Amino acid sequence: DVKVTQSSRYLVKRTGEKVFLECVQDMDHENMFWYRQDPGLGLRLIYFSYDVKMKEKGDIPEGYSVSREKKERFSLILESASTNQTSMYLCASSLWAPGETQYFGPGTRLLVL
Partner 1 sequence: QKEVEQDPGPLSVPEGAIVSLNCTYSNSAFQYFMWYRQYSRKGPELLMYTYSSGNKEDGRFTAQVDKSSKYISLFIRDSQPSDSATYLCAMTLPPSAGKSTFGDGTTLTVKP
Task: Give residues in contact with partner 1 (CB under 8 A).
Answer: 4, 30-31, 33, 40-43, 45, 48, 50, 90, 92, 94-107, 109
CB atoms within 10 A of CB 68: 20
Q: How far apart are CA 20 and CA 66, in angstroms?
A: 9
- Report the nearest approach of partner 1 to the CB of residue 100 (Å): 4
- Cβ atoms of 49 and 42 closer than 8 Å: no
- Report the nearest approach of partner 1 to the CB of residue 37 (Å): 8
Instruction: Determine the residue type at 30.
Output: E
- Report the nearest approach of partner 1 to the CB of residue 8 (Å): 13
